[in-house]
Chain A
């Protein structure tokens, strides 16, 4: 009887330890033999020094087909580019939160993935922003205030991370060209890693602005010698840059 009680107590202690977050974090991952399973950790950025992504990870994108409302919004956003003017209408120029796609920045900025058992954090160097992806199986919230970065839940599809996002406001751009979105936006992002290359593909589903889903993508390289630096968007610094470089070039072209 005594031995049975001791055995039960030992089993209970083992069970508590096995279910602790620390143990879960150390649990073996699905094995593929590469050592990179479910692992996006590290700092990622543009390919540098002439390096190119593997051929199989070339960007694959589909162009957007806009509804009349989406077209009107795009024309408004892109009007300065069409006139050869600096794009001061962009949320980035105004130091507003970027939304999840513009948060990668103009391409030269870094992003770091930090993985915990319940969520993945993306530290986005551009404008010092972060994204939070819940990995604990929770559903999207039934009700939410409109968010700049949206609400994100993720899961692993094989070795790909798939992120579903919603609950957006309509104040950000999907790209630097000026494609906007409504608050109906549903965004799905797939991260596919091969070695030190990462293909990110974002699918935009917004029936109010786009007649059908479309996608945009980027490829990133893992940089073991990079750290995410501090890079805030400061309105005074933007203003100074405008005054010194942007505004002098914003006049109509000089007649020849």
Chain B
């Protein structure tokens, strides 16, 4: 019989093992098992703690345009990766691979193993020290 104590133990172990992966807001609201790749147009870059936010409009495979706001790392990490607050500007064409929100909202996470961002065909690093092979 699966007792409540057993469930809590499993939850505790899973969360303890995976804790370092969480941002301070957590990541449980994103589908971290399935990434999405879109081509779109930047509408803004919020250069601020706790996370920079890249906003863009992109069409899905049916041609429906959706507005997205995805979190990047904080300004210090991006600065160490070579970014400035104007590395990406409104109107820029980008290709972005990110982890979308599970609930279908236009939110997501733009860092992690599969996350990528290309501006005019050139990869931008999303982590400090990331080799993007340009």
Residues of A within 8 A of B119 (CB): none
> Considering the complex, which residues of chain A in the window 75-97 have a beta carbon less than 8 Å from any beta carbon of chain B?
75, 78, 80-88, 90, 92-93
**How many cross-chain pairs have Cβ atoms below 8 Å apart between A and B?**
155
Contact B24–A234 (Cβ < 8 Å): no
Report the minimal beta-carbon distance from B60 to chain A, rounded to whole angstroms.
15
Residues of A within 8 A of B85 (CB): none
Report the minimal beta-carbon distance from B129 to chain A, rounded to whole angstroms.
3
Residues of A within 8 A of B71 (CB): 241, 245
Please measure, in the bound complex, the distance between the C-alpha atom of A174 and the C-alpha atom of B74, giving whole angstroms: 22
Contact B26–A87 (Cβ < 8 Å): yes
A177 in the interface (beta carbon within 8 A): yes
B114 in the interface (beta carbon within 8 A): no
Contact A245–B15 (Cβ < 8 Å): no
Residues of B within 8 A of A90 (CB): 24-26
Residue total for B at the interface (Cβ-Cβ under 8 A)? 49
Residue total for A at the interface (Cβ-Cβ under 8 A)? 59
Contact B24–A85 (Cβ < 8 Å): no
Contact A108–B129 (Cβ < 8 Å): no
Please measure, in the bound complex, the distance between the C-alpha atom of A249 and the C-alpha atom of B99, giving whole angstroms: 12
Contact of A245 among B11, B22, B53 (CB under 8 A): B53
Q: Of B33-41, B43-51, B89-97, which binds chain A?
A: B43-51
B8 in the interface (beta carbon within 8 A): yes
Contact B24–A92 (Cβ < 8 Å): yes
B59 in the interface (beta carbon within 8 A): no
Contact of B24 among A81, A176, A237 (CB under 8 A): A176
Please measure, in the bound complex, the distance between the C-alpha atom of A50 and the C-alpha atom of B76, giving whole angstroms: 19
B122 in the interface (beta carbon within 8 A): no
A148 in the interface (beta carbon within 8 A): no
Please measure, in the bound complex, the distance between the C-alpha atom of A249 and the C-alpha atom of B28, giving whole angstroms: 10
Contact of A63 among B13, B53, B55, B105 (CB under 8 A): B13
Contact B16–A179 (Cβ < 8 Å): yes
Please measure, in the bound complex, the distance between the C-alpha atom of A213 and the C-alpha atom of B69, giving whole angstroms: 42
Please measure, in the bound complex, the distance between the C-alpha atom of A252 and the C-alpha atom of B28, giving whole angstroms: 12
Contact B128–A85 (Cβ < 8 Å): no
Q: Nearest A residue to B77 by beta-carbon distance?
A: A108
Q: List 19 A-B contacts (CB under 8 A).
A: A48-B127, A63-B16, A71-B8, A71-B12, A78-B11, A84-B102, A85-B28, A87-B24, A87-B25, A106-B22, A108-B76, A108-B77, A108-B127, A229-B79, A231-B74, A234-B49, A245-B53, A248-B107, A254-B103
A residues at B contact (CB < 8 Å): 45-46, 48-51, 63-64, 66, 71, 74-75, 78, 80-88, 90, 92-93, 105-110, 125, 175-179, 218, 226, 229, 231-234, 237-238, 240-242, 244-246, 248-254
